[in-house]
A and B are shown apart, each in its own frame.
Chain A
């Protein structure tokens, strides 16, 4: 693959980096990244990955743009309120960089569709907003051996970890099971400052870029913990858990679980 004149110009500031170069740029242009969620985390991530010239970016979201999203979801604009988030995202990303092929998935991920979708990508970025999706994405990535950048935010706290299935700890090694519904408030109930989402989503973009470029050290086996009020970044160790239910020595989770359904079914049974 030969870079065109306009590509050399567009990407010049990253091509001149010693560990990127023309070769690195070609890797980016040939890379395929799936972003789950076109929201607070997915927005900055999608913008930076599109700008950097990732060749193919898939984006998954089932929602429409609402006015109350615009305080933090910087992919979307006022004129796109009411449009699907994936269409709005595509418009913005291709507006920045026509080199990028954007594939839209206007749907909710389930145990039925996720494996078929992630199959087509080199790395997955999880910017979803609920535990059932996060565990589904983790399990699907472990089963499919797809690297995963996980990010989460809650009020002024943020977390990020990169998962290299069967090499480094997965999300279940870190937190074996999701909390029961209602025990932990979701972002919607909790509130969030846009910049906090921006910081964590940008870290996820950076992890994806490093993975594709094969440079630096990923947040694999390490959880990055950010606190916006102290402006503190800390890292804690996350060993691979030999007892992990999905990537341990004798896994008990052998097929994908739709937690929400599971929980609501359980509720119905109890009633």
Chain B
């Protein structure tokens, strides 16, 4: 299942500077594991030691935040777009 994943600037070092990548998975957890296989180190940036998505990073399926769906069990369908959006603080 091909899911388009939007990668934010802070993580693009791990994705060879790509801002959009393709990944597979039937839910968010599988998708993150698939990302980790292709871009080692990315899971540790998105999730904490217990495997939970960090509290300053959100994952959206299309326009919806998975925290308000089924968290990492949120199901994915072909053609869904996943966005990883971290808090950013720059302003100067």
Chain A residues engaging chain B, CB cutoff 8 angstroms: 37, 39-42, 69, 73, 126-131, 134, 151-159, 174-179, 184-188, 190, 192, 197, 223, 225, 227, 229-230, 234-239, 241
Contact = CB atoms under 8 A, between A and B. Distances in A.
Contact of A159 (B54, B57, B88): B88
B87 A184 contact: yes
Contacts of A236: 58, 60, 63-65, 83, 85
Interface residues of B, number: 24
Interface in B51-73: 54-58, 60, 63-65, 67-68
8 tightest A-B CB contacts, nearest first = A187-B90, A39-B92, A129-B92, A154-B88, A175-B87, A152-B88, A155-B9, A129-B91
B64 A129 contact: no
Given A177-B55, A239-B68, A129 B90 contact: yes
B10 interface: yes
Contacts of A129: 89-92
Given A128-B89, A154-B89, A174-B87, 14 more contacts: A126-B91, A156-B9, A175-B56, A175-B58, A178-B89, A179-B87, A184-B86, A186-B89, A186-B90, A187-B89, A188-B92, A192-B92, A225-B83, A227-B19
A238 to B, nearest CB: 7
A197 B92 CA distance: 8
Interface string B1-30: 000000011100000000100000000000
Contacts, number: 107
23 contacts: A40-B92, A69-B92, A127-B91, A128-B91, A134-B89, A152-B89, A157-B8, A157-B9, A159-B85, A174-B87, A175-B56, A176-B55, A176-B56, A177-B55, A179-B56, A184-B86, A223-B85, A234-B83, A236-B64, A237-B63, A237-B64, A239-B65, A239-B68
A127 B91 CA distance: 5
Nearest to B85: A225
Interface in B74-90: 83, 85-90
Question: Which of B56, B63, B67 has the largest count of A CB atoms less than 10 A from its CB?
Answer: B56
A185 B10 contact: yes
B83 to A, nearest CB: 7
A153 B90 contact: yes
Contact of A187 (B65, B67, B83, B91): B91
Nearest to B64: A237
Contacts of A235: 63
A184 B58 contact: no
Contacts of B8: 154, 157
A230 B9 CA distance: 13
B90 A73 contact: no
B55 A175 contact: yes
A178 B54 CA distance: 10
B91 A184 contact: no
B82 to A, nearest CB: 11
B7 to A, nearest CB: 10
A155 B91 CA distance: 11
Contact of A154 (B56, B60, B90): B90
A120 to B, nearest CB: 22
A229 B17 CA distance: 12
A261 B43 CA distance: 30
